[in-house]
A and B are shown apart, each in its own frame.
Chain A
């Protein structure tokens, strides 16, 4: 066999190897979801969603955990959305290139890589103990906000960067101030990308377990929270708690709760992708 033929053979072999690797990734995703659906789908009914936690697996439901997740989601959004977008605008439109903006940039990229459990340690010291918020929804939301801030900032910067400078220059030429330009031109033009980033960041936040365990969120909360200062549990914590128990009934519960959590996560990701596509199509510069 000559060299050229050998190389062609290798090329074909790699094509097959490459496509198998890609398919393995996708098949794993399917097996993975399939398994959980088989384990848990039979357990999901209205009672499962509306029942309070219980020592008996067949009576236990996810009501308090789901309410906790909704509270956390809402408050985290209120805190992190304006802060992240504001920081992104500052870095992209206001910050002068120099040491400070360099430092900010390196710092944000580093924060994005800090393990989430470290944010938990920070949140426990600062929010739970120093500010004396206790293991409340507010403390949890503040912690998660810090965690997802880098994601929102990066998304904001990327979308603002994509707005052509001609738009801004035209606005300046009309006598608009810097903020008027940002508020009336840049932000409306980049809102699609920003929303995509925010939704993805929030979908990350509702899947987080580790930082909330560290700040002391409870695995067992008998009542749904009524205010941001209440103690809480969230769905991933409830799943963790059920997985750690020996009775098989709780494992089924965990699988059922995972299905609901996955649906929420995938729907949020779907909305994010929809936003991205919609805005990309609508605005053609």
Chain B
């Protein structure tokens, strides 16, 4: 009797774990099935090369490039903000800060990541954009710059916390070796600790990029709904995610070609983030145990 019970429990636990696999399979099937319907009507060449994205207009164009450029532009701005600040925080907290200070500051910074993203969207639209308009008077209410900057603030803790963890995992002996050679703290962290922790740092940065690419509400609120192929940060743009939100909250009938576009856009988004996540996971696995 006991054996039967044990067997049933083990199988039930296994099924729970299996749900995660089913989720992935489900995502891939749903996206490819609907995207397949889309690509029966729109050629993949047009999808990848057309420079306009206007599925909701009467003159339809289905080029993903404008959505892609919008996504890359906001992500790029976010990383430009978050990478130097996040890495400096990690280096400072790890090498310079007293441990009490570090223990208080780290969770506080992580609160930045706990704030719902719709709140950041509000902040970008109502505070950052008006502030930036002092410097770019011709800039409109919706723009890539403000959304990108705020997204950068949001992902600072991803980079600072995970990179600090990576720095903290570097064995003390390496660091002490550097001090013994007469290095300053800066030299130690730049020439010894950061290179030694590089796999963890790179993987954290890639995760942050992937997070920025998939971020939705900030760009949906603050970046606008104008898909255009531009790299001018003061222009309104539309990202892949913001487009999906626009269609979903409108009244586009299910099953129409217009509605299928969100799956085509979704699959592009999924492939992007999937590649980045896999690379990040691989780097972490491959190089992690070097010093243990």
Residues on A lying within 8 angstroms of B by beta carbon are 4, 7-8, 10-11, 14-15, 17-19, 21-22, 24-26, 28-29, 31-32, 35-36, 39, 82-84, 86-87, 89-91, 94-95, 103-104, 106-111, 113-122, 124-126, 129, 146, 149-150, 153, 177-179, 200, 203-204, 206-210, 213-214, 216, 219, 236, 239-240, 243-244, 251, 254-255, 258, 261-262, 265-266, 269, 273
Contacts and interface: CB of A to CB of B under 8 A. Distances in A.
Given A28-B153, A35-B127, A255-B122, A122 B216 contact: no
Scoring A177, A203, A240, A261 by chain B CB atoms within 10 A of each residue's CB, the highest score goes to: A240
A10 B186 contact: yes
Contacts of A87: 13, 16-17, 19-20
B210 A113 contact: yes
Contact of B27 (A39, A91, A114, A255): A114
A214 B277 CA distance: 23
A148 B88 CA distance: 30
B258 interface: no
B276 interface: yes
Give the one of A25, A84, A219, A243 with max B CB within 10 A.
A25
A214 B241 CA distance: 10
A113 B207 contact: yes
B13 A22 contact: no
Contacts of B160: 25
A105 to B, nearest CB: 9
B269 A213 contact: no
A149 B186 CA distance: 41
B91 interface: yes
A89 B17 CA distance: 9
Interface stretch (B3-11, B41-49, B52-60, B227-235): B3-11
In the complex, the 3 A-B pairs of residues with the closest C-beta atoms, listed nearest first: A115-B214, A18-B92, A207-B116
Nearest to B216: A210
B216 A116 contact: yes
Interface in B66-88: 84-85, 88
B174 interface: no
B114 A265 contact: yes
A21 B187 CA distance: 19
A25 B6 contact: no
Contacts of A124: 248
Given A29-B111, A121-B244, A22 B122 contact: no
A266 B108 CA distance: 11
5 contacts: A21-B85, A87-B16, A115-B273, A117-B266, A209-B216
Contacts of B241: 115, 117, 210
Given A11-B184, A115-B241, A122-B30, A94 B14 contact: yes
A83 B92 contact: no
Given A115-B269, A115-B270, A210-B241, 14 more contacts: A15-B185, A18-B97, A94-B13, A118-B269, A119-B27, A121-B27, A121-B244, A129-B254, A200-B114, A213-B249, A239-B118, A240-B221, A262-B119, A269-B114
A242 to B, nearest CB: 9
A216 B269 CA distance: 20
A21 B88 contact: yes
Contacts of A21: 84-85, 88-89, 92
Q: Is the interface of B mostly helix, strand, loop or mixed?
A: helix
B12 A209 contact: no
Given A29-B111, A110-B278, A213 B245 contact: yes
A89 B14 CA distance: 9
B274 interface: yes
Given A113-B207, A213-B249, A178 B6 contact: yes
Contacts of B92: 14-15, 17-19, 21-22
A107 B36 CA distance: 24
B39 interface: no
Contacts of B126: 35, 39, 251, 255
B96 interface: yes
Contact of B263 (A108, A121, A204): A121
B192 interface: no
B184 A239 contact: no
Contacts of B207: 113
Contacts of B273: 113-115, 118
In this complex, which of A90, A120, A129, A251 has the most chain B Cβ atoms within 10 angstroms of its Cβ? A90
A153 B19 CA distance: 11
B262 interface: yes
A118 B281 contact: no
Contact of A36 (B107, B119, B185): B119
B2 interface: yes
Interface in B205-235: 207, 210-211, 213-217, 220-221
A29 B276 CA distance: 28
A236 B85 CA distance: 29
B277 A24 contact: no
Contact of A117 (B119, B127, B245): B245
Task: Name the residue among B21, B24, B107, B116 with the largest chain A CB count within 10 angstroms.
Answer: B116
